[in-house]
Chain A
């Protein structure tokens, strides 16, 4: 990973991001706005599953309402995230927090996609049985915890040294 990191940091795009000091904070800010939209969407869908909000709307309606915002925001997050990796390769790619975060992003995305597809496929079945099951409610809580942990790990990239020897970021 280190040679790749070094190569990436020498690419013209990386150098452009590194030399214009306003770019990284701008990308980070857009990234946070995007996380806000994802968190808002995930939160509302899970509140619906838990029966704490929007109970007058069907699961299908809830997914139709928030799903597209979530998918669009995830695309923005992927793009801004990639720009941050290109701009600061060593800070991201050598960080334990970064890879742990990527793993949880993959899990969270799979959970969300599986949930939305299942709702689209057999809504009445979900409405009457699955949502009432305790496991589904626990899955909703777990999903919220996953996204909260993703946020924590995202912030911890800036403090990766707290992981001690697990962190590969250079201690200059």
Chain B
């Protein structure tokens, strides 16, 4: 099965069809996606700002992380599920969309950035846990993370503006060109 066939199968599935046909499902799935992503971003930013020494500096780093990490993952699961549900409604278009691809690449980079943190600054966390900021490797991870996640939010919004689906963000009726409907006149 080629990727094109796979995407077409996704798009033609009963689940994708029922989301597309419903007046309410797509808006509410998208809303849940935004609730999830604001929690993902909010809790990650909290950790990044702590690494940089810009927030929660009087609280040990490990305590800051322990408070939020489970919520970050729960919220990320919500965005992944709702993101997938939105994807299947128009899989072919999203798959070929530049901003969608960039966003997926950046999510991967954000994951690698977390891995880099685990392999560097996190190993010596007991040395700097109570310091007001992390060592250089930790600060770098913090900056990269903030830049990536803010860009991911921008990319996500751009996906909405560059992929149109009847009944969603676009205003279909407005796009009807009378000349195309009645092509009698010469151009």
Contacts and interface: CB of A to CB of B under 8 A. Distances in A.
Interface size class of B (residues with CB under 8 A): 35 or more
Contacts, number: 98
A162 B38 contact: no
Contact of B45 (A32, A36, A156): A36
Q: How large is the interface on A (under 10, 10 to 19, 20 to 34, 35 or more residues)?
A: 35 or more
A29 B153 contact: yes
B127 interface: no
Contact of B41 (A33, A159, A171): A33
Contact of B42 (A41, A56, A65): A41
A166 to B, nearest CB: 14
Interface in A9-33: 24-26, 28-29, 32-33
A24 B23 CA distance: 24
Interface of A: 24-26, 28-29, 32-33, 35-41, 43-44, 47, 53-54, 56-57, 61, 65, 69, 148, 151-152, 154-156, 158-159, 162, 171-172
B27 interface: yes
Contacts of A158: 27, 168-169
Contacts of A43: 39, 42-43, 71
Contacts of A61: 58
Contact of B27 (A39, A41, A159): A159
